[in-house]
Amino acid sequence: MSAYPVLLTRPLLAGFAAGVLISLGACSAANPEAPATEAGSPQLSDQPHDRERAELHEQLAAAPAELQRKSQVAGRAVMPGVAYAPMPMSVQADALPPAYLGKSRDENREQYQKLADNPVHAVAETPVSTFSIDVDPGSYANVRRFLNGGQLPPQDAVRLEELVNYFPYAYPLPKGDVPFGVHTELAATPWNPESRLLRIAIKASDLRVDELPPANLVFLVDVSGSMDRRDGLPMVQSTLKLLVEQLRAQDKVSLVVYAGSSSVVLQPTSGSEKAKIRAAIDQLTAGGSTAGESGIQLAYQQAQQGFIDGGINRILLATDGDFNVGISDFETLKQLAADKRKTGVSLTTLGFGTDNYNEQLMEQLADAGDGNYAYIDNLREARKVLVDQLSSTLATVASDVKIQVEFNPAEVSEYRLLGYENRALKREDFSNDKVDAGEIGAGHTVTALYEVVLVGGKGWLEPLRYQQAAKAGSPAGELAWLRIRYKAPGQNVSKLLEQPIQANDTPAISQASEDLRFAAAVAAFAQQLKGDTYTGRFSLADSAELARNAKGDDRFGLRGEFVQLVELAQSLQTASNPSTTARVLQ
């Protein structure tokens, strides 16, 4: 038997497959699924029918390949130069209703906050820089999701400080009665020979999980229709069960869900009853609209019901942020979180999903709620956030942490802060204890980078004709003066730390510490993804090489993964792969 009959039967089989699939779609249209039940009520899926449909779909899709395999087993060569084309996507996907595909086919509606890069400042005009710290890792995981999906991320999805702070660094531990240590380092900028890179490094004291205060946790889970996808509710369930395994008998957990309405699925339950908590999580199914504000209100009620004096009282909100019922206004939701934090309950947001993901809301809600924000793109990230770094995620060692740097005009002519655009503060906000700022969790590291031009160097700005000379008496040898304000947990009055930043001899970047070199590589990469405004001819290949030579111990493989992502971005950039069309909010 020749190969030709095999080729001739292929169109017939494809046509037969298309007919069967279209028939299935018609049946589904004629018999629409029953409406979703109220959120929080266990929903029973038609599992036998689902399995049969899925198996039939897989068999039909695999049939052409099976024919080719059988022809090769029979020892017959296929026609030279003819490739077996896959079944057209219109047959494979569009013939099936969205319910069969497990996700909505809506257009991309992801939302990001549009922020201009920090400008260059002349020290003679603006000697003081003030901002709030940020330890959220969400932007890095989200960027990784885009790159692994074969797309360059939208520029507004890239927040430089969150990429840099995603990684652990070996910074000095605190000494004395302060909750964190502070260290500075200066080196040549890898992408600009005329400037220097100043790193401010903060390392919080660490706590083991068994040293944490008792925890009162509320799992607030979005079970609306937009979460009915593999990277939605199923990923949430797997993520939360990782955390359940870390609970102790003195901890307690509640479970609140919301879709068209909100409900309590599990009243406060001891961490010793892990099977009961897991069963409550496993019963969840997705469907309906998204009344996020209603769910948040109910979660705060549950947190107050189980409130532990002197303990950790926190809501963990797991959602794609696509609120469409009740209060969905961005500023109103932020104010709700800001008001509720005064009760002693903090809010952590865990982002899931694609296409309709509201990243702006997730990041800002956590900020307003005195919590932290993470994007969960895979179970490895879930384990990093809720197992490896559980103490950092749950336990706060310092709140309202603000950084202020005053540059010495006798040493520095220009500077720019890398990242922290949405954490900028006014100069007068630094000493105002009513102005909210970021929190530092146990064991957290915080990195802030400035690119500075020393006096006499070539900067970005044209010199002023009538610029006044630096005031006499500026301390020689001091590059800048560093101030840090913070509050101890539960306190309303801030404490002040101050120290000089010395203008020592500046080593080449190759002679800097591994941590500074790696942070510089990540900062370069973030700038390159955002448009290369300041990195000149420093390429993605240069960023990858700088990071590769600064991996160090890399216990969890995070730095090695970063190098791979840079190389992937380089390939996508070379191929001119278009960026996502996600909607950017003004």
Each residue's pLDDT tens digit, 555-566: 999 999 999 999
pLDDT digits (tens, 9 = 90+) for 257-292: 998 888 999 999 999 999 999 999 999 999 887 777
Q: Among 43-47, 145-149, 298-302, where is mean pLDDT lowest? A: 43-47
Give residue 14's pLDDT.
Answer: 45
Q: Is residue 328 classed as helix, strand or coil in its secondary structure?
A: coil
- Position 13 pLDDT exceeds 70: no
Judged against a pLDDT cut of 50, whether residue 176 lies above it is answered with yes
| pLDDT tens-digit map of 210-237 | 899 999 999 999 999 989 989 999 999 9
Q: Is the pLDDT of residue 92 over 90?
A: no
- Is it the case that residue 410 has pLDDT exceeding 50? yes
**pTM, entire model:** 0.79
Span 324-356, pLDDT tens digits: 655 556 788 888 889 999 899 999 999 998 888
Q: What is the mean pLDDT of residues 151-155?
A: 95
Whether 45 shows a pLDDT value over 90: the answer reads no
Res. 580: pLDDT tops 70: no
Report the CATH number of the 209-394 domain: 3.40.50.410
Judge whether 247 and 253 are in contact, CB under 8 Å.
yes
For residues 472 and 475, give the distance between their C-alpha atoms in angstroms, rounded to a whole number. Answer: 9
Looking at residue 463, the DSSP 8-state letter turns out to be P
Residues 6+ apart with CB under 8 A from 477: 411, 502, 503
Q: Which amino acid is at 302?
A: Q
Options 2.10.109.10, 2.60.40.4070, 2.60.40.1230, 2.40.50.140; which CATH number does 116-132+150-207+396-461+475-555 get? 2.60.40.1230
Instruction: Return d(Cα 157, Cα 138) in angstroms, integer.
Output: 10
Looking at the predicted structure, is the pLDDT value of residue 386 above 50?
yes
Per the structure block, which two tokens stand in for 555?
Answer: 């216990």
- Asked whether 346 and 370 are in contact (CB, 8 A), the reply is yes
pLDDT of residue 356: 81
Residue 106 has pLDDT above 80, yes or no: no
Mean pLDDT value across the chain: 82
Question: Is 13 exposed, middle or buried (CB count within 10 Å of its CB: 0-12, 13-18, 19+)?
Answer: middle
Distances (CA, A) of 398 to 5, 209, 363, 484: 74, 18, 19, 11
- Quick check: 379 and 238 in contact, CB under 8 A? yes
Please give the average per-residue pLDDT across 310-318, as a whole number.
95
* 46 membership: H or E segment, kind and range: none
Confidence of residue 473 (pLDDT cuts 50, 70, 90): low
Phi/psi of residue 103, nearest 5 degrees: -160, 160
pLDDT of residue 475 exceeding 80: no
Is residue 390 predicted with pLDDT exceeding 80? yes
Q: Of the spans 60-64, 185-189, 286-290, 295-299, which averages the highest pLDDT?
A: 185-189
Tell me which of 97-111, 239-253, 502-516 is least confident: 97-111
Domain ranges, ordered by start, for the chain: 4-101, 116-132+150-207+396-461+475-555, 209-394
